[in-house]
Amino acid sequence: MILEGPINNLSLGNVTFNIARELIKRNELSAMCLPPCVNNAQFNAFDKASDEVKTEIINKLLNFTKEFSSDEIGLKIWHINGSERRVAKKQILFSFYEVDMPTETEINLVNQQDAVIFSSRESIDAFVNTGKVDKDKFFFVPLGFDEDFSIQPIQRPDVIHFGLCGKLEKRKNTQTIIKEWLNLYGNNTKYQLTCLINNPFFPKETFDQIIANTLEGKHYNNINFLPTLEFNSEVNQFLNAIDIDLSGACGNEGWNLPSFNAACMDKVCVVGLGGAHLDWVNEFPNSNIVKISPDGIEECYEGVFFHRGSPFNQGCFHFFKPENISAAIKEAENVFMNSYQENSGKLLREKFTYAKTVDEILSIANNL
């Protein structure tokens, strides 16, 4: 199999790395290349991965033009926008779609693929319901718990520690979550909120201004904003340090690695019942997950990542009223204090692995 995808510390980069590692274990990775707009591979995040795996990926990238054969199956891990380029005669697109109104451009591009994988059944439904695609080309394949992440016992002070992880943007309800948390616990030192929400697509000045606006010019002594973490071991440490994760209280996701990883690591998690969340939140009973039902939908356009009239990413997200997010935060506190279950993420960790992800990808490839 030829693998095309980014290698970096973003979600797509982590997915690509984990799938590449699993293909290498099986001797199924024949060649590898980066998407056209990605200039280089960045391996810093994968500090717990073996040097052998990283060296093998580097060799596959460096020797791509010498080793690839277009007769093999190509697996592209990328956005629909940019999926038109292929390096193999048959191509599987593994992508992530987070709105609900596929455009004619998006429909045409997925129709050019030999198979399309989404990690969200809701995303598949959005395309199939247009009546303009071949439903037999679409496959649901879930992601897995990263084998480099581990649960570590931590001695905590007498403080309930909340965490919020994921790029700051409207779709993720980042500002609403912070505001509602501050309304509940701001300057109450029995509670702490640590935010890992840097967005590399914002200039620093813009990001800082958004944070200042979110805090409404006030000073709070119990909220922290971490810089971008270079290593996955640091992200693992962050997830181990928190008690309650709020990253799932968002409008829509193609999977949501931060919230999913937190749930796998036995954290109390607030998770909205929409998008790919439905494909892992409801898989097993989990008493540590506080679920929020959507209050409707809202248009996605915010003029930054989603532009009205664009040939890509049109439609709506799920909408959650701020007061219901606030109520879920309070419920999460109650769960943590009164009914927390240790090892609640065990079934998730066992059910969702990258080995199983690759099993399904290879099964699809073998039937093309």
Residue 151: inside a domain, yes or no?
Answer: no
Kindly state whether residues 110 and 84 are assigned to the same domain: yes
Residue 149: inside a domain, yes or no?
Answer: no
Overall domain count for the chain: 2
Kindly state whether residues 202 and 275 are assigned to the same domain: yes
Kindly state whether residues 361 and 255 are assigned to the same domain: no
Q: Model confidence over 50-68: pLDDT tens digits?
A: 999 999 999 999 999 999 9
Residue 150: inside a domain, yes or no?
Answer: no
Kindly state whether residues 184 and 214 are assigned to the same domain: yes
Kindly state whether residues 24 and 173 are assigned to the same domain: no
Is pLDDT above 80 for 283? no
Residue 318: inside a domain, yes or no?
Answer: yes
Kindly state whether residues 28 and 120 are assigned to the same domain: yes
Q: Rounded mean pLDDT of 300-318?
A: 95
Kindly state whether residues 283 and 358 are assigned to the same domain: no
pLDDT category, 168, cuts 50, 70, 90?
A: very high
CB 276 within 8 A of CB 253: yes
Residue 291: inside a domain, yes or no?
Answer: yes
Residue 360: inside a domain, yes or no?
Answer: yes
Kindly state whether residues 308 and 332 are assigned to the same domain: yes
Residue 154: inside a domain, yes or no?
Answer: no
Predicted pLDDT at 244:
97
Q: In what order do the strands lie in the sheet with 191-196?
A: 223-225, 191-196, 160-165, 244-248, 268-272, 289-292
Kindly state whether residues 283 and 266 are assigned to the same domain: yes
CB 198 within 8 A of CB 207: yes
Kindly state whether residues 253 and 341 are assigned to the same domain: yes
Q: What is the CATH number of the domain that holds 111?
A: 3.40.50.2000
Cβ-count burial of 327 within 10 angstroms (0-12 exposed, 13-18 middle, 19+ buried)? middle
Q: Model confidence over 185-229: pLDDT tens digits?
A: 999 999 999 999 998 888 889 999 999 999 999 999 999 999 999
Kindly state whether residues 70 and 129 are assigned to the same domain: yes
Kindly state whether residues 171 and 128 are assigned to the same domain: no
Residue 152: inside a domain, yes or no?
Answer: no
Residues 6+ apart with CB under 8 A from 136: none
Domain containing 90 equals: 2-144+353-366
Q: Model confidence over 242-277: pLDDT tens digits?
A: 999 999 999 899 999 999 999 999 999 999 999 999
Residue type, 92: I
